[in-house]
Chains A and B, each alone.
Chain A
Amino acid sequence: MAAVSVSGVSKRFGPVQALDGVSLDFANGGFFALLGPSGCGKTTLLRLIAGFDAPDAGQIGIGGERVDGTPVERRNVGMMFQSYALFPNMTVADNVGFGLRVRSVPWPERRRRVGEALDLVHLSGLGDRRPHQLSGGQRQRVALARAIVIAPRVLLLDEPLSALDKALRVSMQVELRRIQREVGITTIFVTHDQEEALSLSDRIGILRDGRLVQEGPPRALYERPATAFAATFLGEANLFAGPVDGGRISLGDGAALCPSGPPDPGAATATVAVRPEKMRVTAAATVPETGWNWLDAVVEQHIFTGSSLTYLLAWRGGSLKVFEQTLGEAVAVPGEAVRVVWRPEHTVPVMP
């Protein structure tokens, strides 16, 4: 059973349609990322689940129970805010214990559970500090401990790592995942950082302009994006569009791409997406393996980034991107004409 289910939820703020008929099920114990550019409605969805706002249409259920009329304070959800929102007038232990205190949990049990929560986030011994005496990473751990100590039905994280610097962010990602696994709590995580979404979550939901674009496990979303937007927002992609001709996408000049699956049968034109690392740059006039897709382009630039090499190629007035592992082979230089080849199964039809 889904821990949280959202069905047909819409929300409008004045002239802005923040959410438009979004339906999503969040599986029990899963780690779910809501990914999208700013203004896509992901934070609005999180706040609707928490109960800070009410949807204009649709239903929200937590633990199989409709929560439409339930106020925030009785939904029993944990939430971590972007600013962490630690209470400045309380010690770390009092911050973590706040949810238990307002639930009238007796003092000895409260103390034990606060101690356990601080252990879990590796902050035992700092219970007497005040929030302003902590580093950014420590504050975040306190906020996390405070959110999970009440044993909430779901944990909501609003861009929890965006205020940290890069190195700390990566170590907190690992930490967050460890804690989530240990506690086994259903987690919904809002982010605009696709890398974060890919590396942390079991499932990702991509939102755009208040609508759910696509939802699924990270690998599936990456390999089989459903739309051009999903392809370019989650990772990078080269897009090709052209008329459909005998199951192939014609690029003109007799060149045509063979897609991984049949394009939309009724459509006259189709768009396909190809991931840059799936393509290979070979010498001009190389005969590609049978069935492979290919096209001829000119190297504009190559950028060496250590373990990999990025080619920027000029093709028909547009630009292509190819990632290649640096294996010590010959490198095409700017101005050189090359042939780019890739397998048909990496040529994914997408909605434009």
Chain B
Amino acid sequence: MSGARRLALLGRAYLALVLLFLYAPVIVMALMSFNRSPFYTLPIRWTTDWYVKLADNDALIAAGLNSLLIAVVTAVLATVLGTAAALAFRRYDFPGKRLLQMLLLPPIAIPWLIVGTAMLVFFFWIGLGRGLHAMLLGHVALALPYVVVVVSARLSAFNPELEEAARVLGAGPWQVLRHVTLPFLAPGLVAAALFAFAVSFDQFVISYFLAVPGVSTLPVEIYTAIRKGFTPEINAISTIVIAVSTLVLVGVARVYRFGSAR
């Protein structure tokens, strides 16, 4: 066997391993959500009972809807605010601009446990307390830097003469934004919104700290459920979440062909 072929084979084996570690746990979980036995026993005896039971689990469903609501609102708010910030950074020079740009990045690196503790203390101190509104505030703050970074990256490829051309043709500032700048940014905005959605939907620590009994998010609820005792309903809801997010991402990737030149 030649060296090149051996190398190619090694590469494939490596790829297979990476994919295995990434996807095997998820696939096992999805399979077990259809298994009659709650104890992962093989062979699999197919059932949809866990999904039927899940439909009756009001706590999980409510938490799932909360998660969805917070994630969608976070995605919208963070994308709007973050895009405005990215545009301002690009367009204007103002005192403190460099400092502000620098301040954007540390929250990405600070452990969520610390940010979450800080938020909990701070929100109580200013009288905001805990609850859905506090979680939403925390999530938007957390997602904002990601949006600014993603939108700024897209914006750096923007030819400012396009805006000038639109203005000289008679378009006012809002028309320029709507017809020229935003359409160009669209792929970046979708990516940024997805990021924000994911940051919020995945968020456990901050949600856990800011949740009040009875109003929690899916990750918090799953964690609480597991502490009480694992049930295959967790597999079922997790499988639904995985299926939905995979479908959304594949759809978006098809529309915008990430990574390829348009």
A75 vs B167: C-alpha distance in the bound complex, in angstroms? 10
Whether, in the assembled complex, A98 has its beta carbon less than 8 Å from a beta carbon of chain B, the answer is: yes
Q: Is the CB of A73 within 8 A of B164?
A: no
Residues in A neighbouring B22, C-beta threshold 8 A = none
Q: Is the CB of A73 within 8 A of B168?
A: yes
Q: Is the CB of A103 within 8 A of B170?
A: yes
Given contacts A50-B168, A102-B171, contact A85 B161 (CB under 8 A): yes
A309 vs B17: C-alpha distance in the bound complex, in angstroms? 74
Whether, in the assembled complex, A299 has its beta carbon less than 8 Å from a beta carbon of chain B, the answer is: no
Residues in A neighbouring B186, C-beta threshold 8 A = 89
Residues in B neighbouring A83, C-beta threshold 8 A = 159, 161
Q: Is the CB of A81 within 8 A of B167?
A: no
Residues in A neighbouring B165, C-beta threshold 8 A = 79, 81, 85-87, 146
With beta carbons under 8 angstroms apart, the residue of B167, B179, B183 that contacts A73 is B167
Q: Is the CB of B169 within 8 A of A99?
A: yes
Contact with A along B177-189 (1 / 0, CB 8 A): 0011001101000
The smallest C-beta distance from A293 to any residue of chain B, in angstroms, reads: 50
Which of A75, A85, A86, A150 has most chain B Cβ within 10 Å? A85
Residues in A neighbouring B168, C-beta threshold 8 A = 50-51, 72-73, 75, 77-79
Within 8 A of A (CB), among B150-173: 159, 161-162, 164-172
Whether, in the assembled complex, B175 has its beta carbon less than 8 Å from a beta carbon of chain A, the answer is: yes
Q: Is the CB of B171 within 8 A of A73?
A: yes
The smallest C-beta distance from B74 to any residue of chain A, in angstroms, reads: 27
Whether, in the assembled complex, A76 has its beta carbon less than 8 Å from a beta carbon of chain B, the answer is: yes
A89 vs B172: C-alpha distance in the bound complex, in angstroms? 19
Residues in A neighbouring B170, C-beta threshold 8 A = 73-74, 76, 99, 102-103, 150
A-B contact count (CB 8 A): 64
Residues in B neighbouring A254, C-beta threshold 8 A = none
With beta carbons under 8 angstroms apart, the residue of A78, A85, A102 that contacts B164 is A85
Whether, in the assembled complex, A328 has its beta carbon less than 8 Å from a beta carbon of chain B, the answer is: no
The smallest C-beta distance from A270 to any residue of chain B, in angstroms, reads: 46
A82 vs B162: C-alpha distance in the bound complex, in angstroms? 11
A89 vs B158: C-alpha distance in the bound complex, in angstroms? 12
Contact with B along A61-84 (1 / 0, CB 8 A): 000000000011111111101110
Q: Is the CB of B179 within 8 A of A98?
A: yes
Within 8 A of A (CB), among B171-222: 171-172, 175, 179-180, 183-184, 186
A89 vs B159: C-alpha distance in the bound complex, in angstroms? 13
The smallest C-beta distance from A47 to any residue of chain B, in angstroms, reads: 9
The smallest C-beta distance from B1 to any residue of chain A, in angstroms, reads: 46
Whether, in the assembled complex, A315 has its beta carbon less than 8 Å from a beta carbon of chain B, the answer is: no
The smallest C-beta distance from A103 to any residue of chain B, in angstroms, reads: 6
A74 vs B173: C-alpha distance in the bound complex, in angstroms? 12
Q: Is the CB of A81 within 8 A of B166?
A: no
Residues in B neighbouring A82, C-beta threshold 8 A = 161
Whether, in the assembled complex, A304 has its beta carbon less than 8 Å from a beta carbon of chain B, the answer is: no
Residues in A neighbouring B166, C-beta threshold 8 A = 87, 98, 102
With beta carbons under 8 angstroms apart, the residue of A75, A89, A146 that contacts B184 is A89
Residues in B neighbouring A98, C-beta threshold 8 A = 166, 169, 171, 179
A146 vs B170: C-alpha distance in the bound complex, in angstroms? 12
A and B contact pairs by CB, cutoff 8 A, 29 listed: A52-B167, A72-B168, A73-B167, A73-B168, A73-B169, A73-B170, A73-B171, A74-B170, A79-B165, A81-B165, A82-B161, A85-B159, A85-B161, A86-B165, A87-B162, A87-B166, A88-B184, A89-B183, A89-B184, A89-B186, A98-B166, A98-B171, A102-B166, A102-B169, A102-B171, A102-B172, A102-B175, A103-B170, A150-B170
User: A78-B168, A81-B164, A102-B170 provided; 19 other pairs, C-beta below 8 A?
Assistant: A50-B168, A72-B164, A73-B168, A73-B169, A73-B170, A79-B164, A79-B165, A81-B161, A83-B159, A85-B159, A85-B165, A87-B162, A87-B166, A88-B184, A89-B180, A89-B183, A98-B179, A99-B170, A103-B170
> Which residue numbers of B lie inside 8 Å of A, CB to CB?
159, 161-162, 164-172, 175, 179-180, 183-184, 186
